[in-house]
C-alpha cells in the first residue's frame, strides 16, 4: 500500500461514518512497517464528546495498541486537514508525518469550524470569540514547581 492507498482508506472510513450517523471524517495511523495500528472516525455527536475527532480517535487506538504515548515512527492519514485541536494532539503524540485529503476550506464549506478556529489562534486573547483571561494567582507556578522537583516523573 502506498500513501494514496492509505489516504483512500481514511476517506472510506469518513464516508462510511456518515452512513453511520457520524461526522464526515476518518483517519488511520500506520507504523514504520506499513501496518495500520489505529483507526478513527468522528463520533462527536453519538458519544457526546466534542473531542472525539477521527484523528484523536486514531491516536488513542494506536497508543493503546502500541502501549505508548508517543507515535514517533508513525504516520497519520486523515480525510481532512486536521483542526487546531487535532494538530495539537498530533504534536503531543509526536507523529512523524501527516497526509490529508480535503483542506480546511472544504471543511468550512461543509459547515465545520476548522478555518474559524485557525483564525482565532492568531488573535489577541481578548479579541477571541471565547475570552481567555489569565488571573495572576500567587500559586500559579505551584504545579510546575512540584513537577520540576518530582524525581520519579514520566517525562513526555
Ligand atoms: Zn480535529
Q: What is the mean pLDDT of residues 17-34?
A: 97
CA of 1 to the centre of ligand 1 (A): 25
53-93 pLDDT tens trace = 999 999 999 999 999 999 999 999 999 999 999 999 999 99
Determine the Cα–Cα distance for residues 156 and 118; give it in Å rounded to an integer: 26
Query: Is residue 99 very low, low, confident or very high in pLDDT (cuts 50, 70, 90)?
Result: very high
Which residues touch 13 (CB under 8 Å, ≥6 apart)?
26, 27, 28, 39, 40, 41, 54, 79
Q: Ligand 1 centre and the CA of 113: distance in Å?
A: 10
Q: Is the pLDDT of residue 18 over 90?
A: yes
By CB neighbour count within 10 A (0-12 exposed, 13-18 middle, 19+ buried), where does 106 fall? middle
- Catalytic amino acids? 55
Element (H, E) at 16: helix 3-19
Distance 137 CA to ligand 1 centre (A): 32
CB 19 within 8 A of CB 12: no
- Residue 126 alpha carbon to ligand 1 centre in Å: 24
Tracing cell 484523528 back to the chain, one arrives at 55
Residue 110: strand, helix, or coil: coil
Amino acid at each position: 500500500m502506498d500513501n494514496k492507498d492509505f489516504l483512500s482508506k481514511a476517506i472510506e472510513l469518513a464516508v462510511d461514518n456518515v452512513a453511520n450517523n457520524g461526522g464526515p471524517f476518518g483517519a488511520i495511523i500506520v507504523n514504520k512497517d506499513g501496518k495500520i495500528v489505529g483507526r478513527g472516525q468522528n463520533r462527536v455527536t453519538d458519544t457526546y464528546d466534542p473531542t472525539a475527532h477521527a484523528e484523536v480517535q486514531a491516536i488513542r487506538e494506536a497508543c493503546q495498541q502500541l502501549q505508548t504515548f508517543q507515535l514517533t515512527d508513525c504516520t497519520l492519514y486523515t480525510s481532512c486537514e486536521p483542526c487546531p485541536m487535532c494538530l495539537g494532539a498530533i504534536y503531543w503524540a509526536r507523529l512523524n508525518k501527516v497526509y490529508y485529503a480535503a483542506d480546511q476550506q472544504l471543511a468550512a464549506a461543509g459547515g465545520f469550524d476548522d478555518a474559524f478556529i485557525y483564525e482565532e489562534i492568531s488573535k489577541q486573547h481578548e479579541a477571541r470569540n471565547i475570552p481567555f483571561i489569565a488571573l495572576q494567582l500567587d500559586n500559579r507556578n505551584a504545579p510546575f514547581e512540584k513537577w520540576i522537583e518530582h524525581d520519579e516523573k514520566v517525562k513526555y
